[in-house]
Amino acid sequence: MPTIAELHEGYTQKTLRPSEVVEKTISQIDSQDETVQAFLSVFEDDMRAHAKDLDTKQDRNEPFGLLEGIPVSVKDAILVKDKPTTAGSQILSSYTAVYDATVIHNLKQAGALIVGKTNLDEFAMGSSTENSAFQETRNPADTSRVPGGSSGGSAASVAADMCPASLGSDTGGSIRQPAAFCGVTGLKPTYGRVSRSGLVAMASSLDQIGPLTHTSLDAAYVLQGIEGADTLDATSTSLSSRQELNIDEIQNGDIAGLRIGIPQEYFGDGLSSEVQAALESVIESFGEMNTVIKDISLSTTEYAIPAYYVLMPAEVSSNLARYDGIRYGQSRFEEASSLQEIYTKSRASGFGEEVKRRIMLGTYVLSGGYYDAYYAQARHMQTHVRKDFTNAFKDVDVILTPTTPHTAFQAGSKADPLSMYLEDIFTVAVNLSGNPALSIPANPNDSTLPIGFQLIGNHFDEQTLLTLGHVWDRYIRQ
């Protein structure tokens, strides 16, 4: 599958027709997805109808926008009007969205082709896409392994060349970790840069929608198409001229003198030798590109995981209280003799084990006698994590870390919830702080399993991350 940039050029030069791209997309899904199982639904008729209109536009020699005619898959936690939205959960198995998420509205306005909905860990709770109520997605690089999660279906759909771009959501690394495992590029934007309206909420103060693509330049195209303030999301932010993306500057790729910080806390015990070697090679390569490599310290790193796994379940327990068997979704109304039984029977059969675990944990830390001991302390630590990054960016322009401690693991090998939670060890801190972060393949030309590295930027400085990522893409693919 060509990149977004290549598809746009093909449409402009008339060497590609939208209807041909749609048929190739559907053919690739038919040939690959039986094994990979990235998609929960595919919108073939809608794509063909849209492509027919775009063919006519092309015949009239009308210009195409950057995202016009671009196939984009969507994580099934993001609403697409009149289409099923399950969030990977049995409790929403019968739910059809009644409106478009703001990001979907923006993509449709830009002329993108919505390919279908991709699989995920139930309510975005997981790091392997094994927690879906419907199917287990596999890693296209090695189908005995997981694609990461929770946006594993989105990452796999791009990695298997079933589409050039996908939308995922990232609460603690759910875009970046699967991007690293599958060998694609994944961007978690600054909190508030992209509207969350129409995203099935997991932890509202941490969730952020972002793109998964083949290249950093493609990620910039998608981000530019979905970002901006939204009256439907009070946490979304109007961008200043300084915060807006400049695609020309990204393509120019001027990184001379850029200060790259290397936090020593991310390179200690637990990091596999293969990831360590790949990251050392990346750092050495950037050093040869006239950047300034600086050792830094992020002293709160070890506390990010425990703080996250108090704050996130607390918000989960609140957000998922709406799934009560009354208003929408699966209900056990006919089996119940009381209102309480409707609640308990609907939720017991509708939620999976991981969702129940996090609801219980969140309810516990918010309960009387434990709020101050756990939740309040975690909020206090979140403040320190934010300060840690703020201080670091006084001395550097970007921070470089591993995305994951190892490569994709075998399906079924992490039955212990705690070992699964530690998959987020390098990613959760930026969700607590609200900073943007980009995961990029470190070894796209190797025959070994994909390895990703992470670039963390200052708030609303996606420009620097994407410029550095674009320079790396050109370097590694030359």
pLDDT at position 215 is 98
> Does residue 444 sit within a domain?
no
Euclidean distance between CA atoms 174 and 300, whole angstroms? 21
Residues spanned by the domain of 145: 4-256+461-477
Q: What is the pLDDT of residue 331?
A: 81
In a domain, 10, yes or no: yes
At 191 the pLDDT is 98
CATH number at residue 234: 3.90.1300.10
Is residue 184, in this structure, part of any structural domain at all?
A: yes
- Distance between CA atoms of residues 434 and 453, nearest Å: 19
Residue 388: inside a domain, yes or no?
A: no
Catalytically annotated residue among 73, 128, 132, 150:
150
CA atoms 358, 299, 173, 144: torsion sign:
negative
pLDDT tens, position by position, for the chain (478 residues)? 899 999 999 999 999 999 999 999 999 999 999 999 999 999 999 999 999 999 999 999 999 999 999 999 999 999 999 999 999 999 999 999 999 999 999 999 999 999 999 999 999 999 999 999 999 999 999 999 999 999 999 999 999 999 999 999 999 999 999 999 999 999 999 999 999 999 999 999 999 999 999 999 999 999 999 999 999 999 999 999 999 999 999 999 999 999 999 999 999 888 999 999 999 999 999 999 999 999 999 999 999 999 999 999 999 999 999 998 888 778 877 787 888 888 898 899 999 999 999 999 999 999 988 999 999 999 999 999 999 999 999 999 999 999 999 999 999 999 888 889 999 999 999 999 999 999 999 988 777 899 999 999 999 999 999 999 999 999 987 6
Asked, for residue 454, whether it belongs to a domain, the answer is: no
The bridge status of strand 292-296 relative to strand 259-263 is parallel
What is the spatial order of strands in the sheet that 398-402 belongs to?
39-42, 113-118, 71-75, 165-170, 208-213, 185-188, 437-441, 452-457, 398-402, 259-263, 292-296
Using H for helix, E for strand and C for coil, what is the string for 123-145? Answer: HHCCCCCCCCCCCCCCECCECCE
Look at residue 224 and tell me if it is in a domain: yes
CB 429 within 8 A of CB 300: yes
Catalytic annotation, pick one of 19, 75, 127, 317: 75
To the query of whether residue 419 is one of the catalytic residues in this protein, the response is no
Provide the number of structural domains found in the chain.
Answer: 1
Q: What is the pLDDT of residue 463?
A: 98
Indicate which residue of 132, 157, 166, 174 is catalytic. 174
ω into residue 150 within 30 of 0, thus cis?
yes
Asked if 75 is an active-site residue, the reply is yes
In a domain, 276, yes or no: no
Active site residue 128: no
pLDDT number for residue 359: 97
Report pLDDT for 11. Answer: 98
Sign of the Cα torsion 283, 288, 289, 291 reads positive
Cα–Cα distance for residue pair 197/5, rounded to 1 Å:
28
The pLDDT assigned to 446 comes to 77
Contact of 76 with 206, CB cutoff 8 Å: no
Buried b (16+ CB within 10 A) or exposed e, 134-144: bebbbbbbbbe
In a domain, 42, yes or no: yes
